[in-house]
Amino acid sequence: MTYSTYVISLSNELVRQKSILTQFNKLNSIFEFEYAVDFRFVDINKVDDFYIKSTCSSLNRNLTKGEIGCSLSHINVYKKLLESNETWAWIVEDDALLERVDIKILDELIQCSEKQGNDVVILGYSKLASDEEKIFYLKEPLKAKSMLECGAILGRPWKNWTCGTVSYLINKNGAKKILDRFESVCNKVETVADDWNFFEKHCSVNILHCRPLLVFENFNAYKSSLEDERAVIAKKSIKWLDSIRVIRGFMRKAIMDIK
C-alpha cells in the first residue's frame, strides 16, 4: 500500500524545517513540505471569510486566526492526497520527534487499517511528553481492535478528542469525507484541525489510535504558533484531577472490554 508524506510548516520556520529534515534523512524517507496557511498578519475580518461557527464543533468558542489557518492547511493536504496516486498520506507537523518511527511499522499500520476499513490512525498527541505516556494511557485507555506483529495496538478510545495533529495517517476515503463536509458549508472551516470527535460524528470518519505512540511533539524546544492566541482562552490544569482521571480510565476500560 502506497502513501505520501507531508510536513506542515509555516514558510519562515527554518529551524524547525532543518530539524525535521534531519530526522527524515535518518529514516531514509522522502517527504514534501506543505507550507501552512498563515493568517498571523491578516485582519481578523478577512480571516472570518474562511470560517463559519458551528454548533457541532467540540469547542464552545470561536476559532482563533491560527486555528483557522491550521485547519485550512490540513484541508490542502487532503486535496493533494485525492489528486495523487497514493492511497494514504502520512501527515507530520514540523515540531515532531520521530525517534520511535519505523517505516515498517507505518506499513503494517496501513495494511491493517486497509483490512479493517479504518480512515485515520493517530500516531501522536499534542503536549504529551514521553515520560508521561504511561499514566496518560491509564487516563485514556483504548478498546483494542488489532494487535500488530511489532507489538503495537490499534484501538478506539472511549471518545475521540482534540488531541492534536502532530502526526497521523489518513486515507483517501477519510480525506474525501472531510472535504465533502468542508464543501457542503461553502468551503469554510467549522472547527479545529484536530477535532477528531467532530470528524467521527459528522463526517463518519473511522478513527483509531496507535499505542504506544510513535511520535511526540517537541513542545519544550518549539513554542506553538497557536499558543499566543490560545493563551487568552486557555484554562489552567488542575493536578489533583489526575488521580480522578486514572480511576475514570479504569472504569471506561472495564466497560469497553465488556461491550
pTM greater than the 0.85 cutoff: yes
pLDDT tens string 173-210: 999 999 999 999 999 999 999 999 999 999 999 999 99
Q: Is the pLDDT of residue 28 over 60?
A: yes
Provide the domain count of the chain.
1
pLDDT tens string 86-96: 999 999 999 99
Best CA proximity match to 53, nearest among 63, 66, 64: 63
Range of the domain at 32: 3-258
| Region 244-253 average pLDDT | 83
The cell numbers describing 29, all together, are: 524517507
Cross-strand pairs, 153: 147, 211
Q: What's residue 243's pLDDT?
A: 75
Q: Is the pLDDT of residue 228 over 60?
A: no
pLDDT tens string 84-140: 999 999 999 999 999 999 999 999 999 999 999 999 999 999 999 999 999 999 999
Instruction: Specify the CATH number for the domain of residue 40.
Output: 3.90.550
Q: Is the pLDDT of residue 39 over 50?
A: yes
* CA–CA separation, 67 and 46 (whole Å): 14
